[in-house]
Amino acid sequence: MSKLLVENEGAVRTLCLNRPESLNALDNELLTALGRAVADADKDKSVRCLILTGAGRGFSSGQDLADVAARYQSPEPIELGAHLREKYNPLIVRLRTIEKPVIAAVNGVAAGAGCSLALACDLRLAAESASFIEAFVNVGLVPDSGSTFMLPRLIGIARAMEMACTGRKVTAAEALQIGLVNQVVPDDQLAGATKKLADKLAGLPTRAIGLTKRAINAAWTSDLETQLDYEAMLQTTAGQTKDHREGVTAFLEKRSAKFTGE
Ligand code: LHQ
Cα separation, 97 vs 20, in Å, equals 28
Residue 152, H or E segment: helix 147-155
- Indicate the SS3 state at residue 133: strand
Q: If you take atom 9 of ligand 1, which residue's CA is the nearest one?
A: 63
For the chain, domains (ranges, CATH) are 4-202 (3.90.226.10), 206-252 (1.10.12.10)
For the chain (262 residues), the mean pLDDT of every run of 10, in chain order, is 96 98 98 98 97 98 94 90 97 98 98 98 98 98 98 98 98 98 98 98 98 97 97 98 98 98 96
Q: If you take atom 7 of ligand 1, which residue's CA is the nearest one?
A: 22
pTM: 0.97
Of the chain, the end-to-end C-alpha distance in Å amounts to 36
Q: If you take atom 1 of ligand 1, which residue's CA is the nearest one?
A: 22
Any residues with Cβ below 6 Å from ligand 1, and which?
22-23, 25, 61-66, 68, 80, 83-84, 109, 111-113, 133, 135-136, 138-139, 141, 144
Cα separation, 239 vs 206, in Å, equals 13
- pLDDT at site 81: 96
Backbone angles phi, psi at 184, to 5 degrees: -120, 135
DSSP designation for 240? T
Q: Which of 31, 64, 65, 137 to mutate to test the pocket of ligand 1 (most atoms within 8 A of CB)?
A: 65
Contact 63, 24 (CB under 8 A): no
Contact 52, 60 (CB under 8 A): no
